[in-house]
Structure 1
């Protein structure tokens, strides 16, 4: 967690480890923070093991105003489930109206606290403090994370009780505020799952499960927190394109959920769910299983109960028959271009190094390609010609022929023509035309229909350089270049009804948000999980790095990929069991789990998994 809190010319420690035993750390918010002088920081807790529980101490008798401020800020970073200790630093009236669950503000360092002397005296019975810092992110009432920037400044007012002479806070800051490392210790990201409303997987009758990441408090019964969040419904950003099978108003009837010794979790629901049928209940159970398995591997089966009876029970295998997730759909092959710029493939789950040409004209013909994409069912492929001008689509079957280009760009150079294409879950093909005179994001229904111009948000600055659609079909990753800078943006795909007289349905991308707020340049990216991407980029003034990022702009837990120099392209599968594959100055290389980068072929480019 590191030292989160920095102040001005002088620093004071506002945390004291009072007692450590059995995984518990008690923190006394009683260190000295003088009522006058420079801006002060409230020191962050040293990095603790994630299994250590951290609890704050209540205010001691006759605590000074500065000790009340520091103690309150410390209590916000503890593992107190209902912030009961933090409330002891407030007046009764302030405690009754304070709503810590409404928001969490994350600062680069912990909040500085500066006493306001304007209009006040040291002996006065009320004081104002200003909390300051640099914003990194916010977590809203839906537990949704969003990157933030700029200065943080918020007032906090204290009053001294005329009878007891004890200082208390009568105007606390809005929600919770803490430094970045305290946030990383206190909170964890969890994917909850809903169903795409307009996406069917090719000819499959069931739909795609869509991950909706939220942040829950790590040491405050995260399982029950996560289930409650799931029942409340999707976050506002995702809500327009997903549905939940839980009836509106469904809630838990039990405060704590615990799996039994058979890894079975019983989930008691209120009467809002009592009348659901078996099919609907199985969907509800699938949402729960997908969500809980993302949180913990100790749940293999869920049982739903309501109205005094069992509604249904569902196992992990049964859940996969209800809806599909990209993270468990394993690709058969890894694809790339050989030294003759033709499409070849290797079995994805092996260590093979001798690729075979794909069947059909893209692998066995004489068409030279610059970039390629393979449909998720691996029956079709699309390739952009060597000069970037034309897009070709062909079947991956023996003797399949290649017709005329499905799309052509009028850009002046290869870099100003077509991007690498991407297939979505419905079997539709996406590509960006980078022509400066007519930049467009395009969709080809089933890869062969006339291109449809996809509407992008008004005011989108820059030109789309690359495109990758998530396995769920409702989220899209775009690298957008604006001047010398490029960033990775995540958007929501919305599809309208079919048009009149055979016109194609309108397709649009909404609410683009950055997944790489700290990077100045993004040169390659790929989906690497249900809500995670792998990115090659560079911070301002830095060198090229490779990292994982979440769709909400946060950094996932766990190590970054092993360093690889000269990375030009990167591909990953949503299925984490398959290795990361890159194209670098050493050729095509792969990174098996727990190993170092291994060379696949020296002469090869454009590696891709299906999608």
Structure 2
């Protein structure tokens, strides 16, 4: 048996800008033969790495190592990777079956066993020990793991030329965390909420390839929402409607023509409009500005569905000794019917969340109790011990939960009626942060699960009157090493988490269905608010100084802020 950790890369990896014209990429399902050249829709060319082909005389470990390295080059269906395989396996191997993501290629440990003497052996086995941190399934759904070691097993044999080739391997590819985002890109399939008025992002990771518009269309029409989102969302596309062929041509003016099966002819105008809007929003990240639905070449003249648009960036919610309101520019603008009431409570206010329409505020006092302020009225909602900061949703509900009882989640109606939310975070033993998303369909939290601190999410299931009924299954997003001081939404599919680890504050930008990235936070950071973009994130430190991120640095603003509040959906 031979054993070694990864050494120098077999051959050279050259970084090149790939000219994305008519060359084929890897289909995630089926045989895609025609698609969109990315340059035709004004997107920048992707940067790919060209892996080395097998070297003459390479050992079994080197062949397996070269095969893993070749996952960096998805061109022509990972053709270079197939050269490390026997002809029989090369025909059946499915790289699109999924991705194993490990900590780093340098940490891989290779163990080889051959039958007989090394120089004369004809067959053998190679095992690779990986520090796996995440996986992506065949549908592109990303799941973070707790960092357990895993083993990838390969069988090898000499070919007719005496060269070692892989004869048995699992479907899928292996990439380290850094290489993953070079080979794959984040896209969002869009699904409707139960009211058909809001679109909800379902993040998927797909190979960077020219035919991505075709792949996204196939995923939307033929696939399904992620399991954790499925209880609260739906698609406008019926199951008997599909693409006629595996191609979505794009015109020079960025219009995608989507040829559907004849069953679409029987659909009503409302459903066709919803289908077009859902697909149009899904394809925007592929550079598409408009979608035309056709049957047998004839335009179905689908309209556009009315959906809730993103709330304009409202500015920061701040409380000082003498003012409460929206901080924009150099001014604090008060909220009618709210600011006066909150200022009366100012010395004891520790958290404020404003409703979407700025007509109501949820306030937590230093006693831990949660109150609402609206139209000059102040009403107590919840006085349970150990409550987290309140979170309002787009429908006007205020969500509260005790830190020691994640399952005791409550949503309060504006009239102070209590609604118990069933099936809340059943796996969690405690919870430290809670924020309802901008669509009112997803809720994010930081909770302790299995003795580990995790960022988690779940879908909110509502009845026909939009009353929250229960939460769907818990989705584990990312494990945290330190204490979460604050949590906020950034855009539709990302979170910002203020983390304190060994007295070193950091801001973690975490995709809801993808990897995260950390950056240093200002010293003494205590509060955080999000917004539509990463540049909207604000941080308040212990001295009352407000910070805004500008590139890689934090710019100081006001220095007299007592509380940095949030808006519903942040």
Q: Settle same-fold status: TM greater than 0.5.
A: yes
Q: Which residue matches 1:525?
A: 487
1:604 aligns with 2:562: yes
- Of 443, 447, 450 in structure 2, the residue corresponding to residue 480 of structure 1 is 447
Structure with more relative contact order (C-alpha pairs < 8 Å, separation 6 or more) = 2
**Counterparts in 2 of 1:424-443, with a 5 A limit?**
424-434=393-403, 436=404, 440-443=408-411
Contact 1:250 1:273 in 2 (8 A): yes
**Counterparts in 2 of 1:103-182, with a 5 A limit?**
103-110=98-105, 112=108, 114-117=110-113, 120-122=116-118, 123-148=120-145, 149-161=147-159, 163-182=160-179
1:305 aligns with 2:294: yes
What count of residue pairs does the alignment treat as equivalent? 537
**Counterparts in 2 of 1:505-516, with a 5 A limit?**
507-516=469-478
Contact 2:527 2:540 in 1 (8 A): yes
- Of 333, 351, 367 in structure 1, the residue corresponding to residue 329 of structure 2 is 351
1:468 aligns with 2:435: yes
Contact 2:228 2:473 in 1 (8 A): yes
Contact 2:391 2:400 in 1 (8 A): yes
Q: Which residue matches 1:420?
A: 389
Identify if the C-alpha distance between structure 1 residues 438 and 570 changes in structure 2 by more than 3 Å, giving closer, same or farther: closer
Give unmatched runs, 5+ long, in structure 1. Answer: 1-6, 25-48, 201-205, 499-503
Q: CA RMSD in A?
A: 3.4
Q: Provide, for residues 206-239 of structure 1, a one-character-per-residue CA deviation record: whole Å limited to 9, x for no partner.
A: 5221110010112453333223222223222222
Q: Which residue matches 1:494?
A: 461
Deviation at 1:472, TM superposition (A): 1.4
Deviation at 1:346, TM superposition (A): 1.9
Q: Provide, for residues 555-596 of structure 1, a one-character-per-residue CA deviation record: whole Å limited to 9, x for no partner.
A: 26xxx66742211111112x2287222221342524266584
Contact 1:394 1:401 in 2 (8 A): yes
Deviation at 1:524, TM superposition (A): 0.8
Partner Cα separation in structure 2 for residue 564 and residue 572 of structure 1 = 16
Give the SS at the match of 2:331: coil
Give the SS at the match of 1:240: helix
Give unmatched runs, 5+ long, in structure 2. Answer: 21-43
1:237 aligns with 2:228: yes
1:393 aligns with 2:388: no
**Counterparts in 2 of 1:453-464, with a 5 A limit?**
453-462=421-430, 464=431
1:266 aligns with 2:229: no
- Of 529, 532, 537 in structure 2, the residue corresponding to residue 571 of structure 1 is 529
- Of 275, 279, 302 in structure 2, the residue corresponding to residue 284 of structure 1 is 275
Give the SS at the match of 2:117: coil
Give the SS at the match of 1:552: coil
Give the SS at the match of 1:252: coil
Q: Which residue matches 1:549?
A: 510
Partner Cα separation in structure 1 for residue 116 and residue 97 of structure 2 = 31
Q: Which residue matches 1:585?
A: 542
Identify if the C-alpha distance between structure 1 residues 14 and 220 changes in structure 2 by more than 3 Å, giving closer, same or farther: farther
**Counterparts in 2 of 1:334-349, with a 5 A limit?**
334-339=316-321, 344-346=324-326
Identify if the C-alpha distance between structure 1 residues 116 and 10 changes in structure 2 by more than 3 Å, giving closer, same or farther: closer
| Structure 1, 443-452 or 469-478: larger mean CA deviation | 443-452
TM-score norm. by structure 1 comes to: 0.78
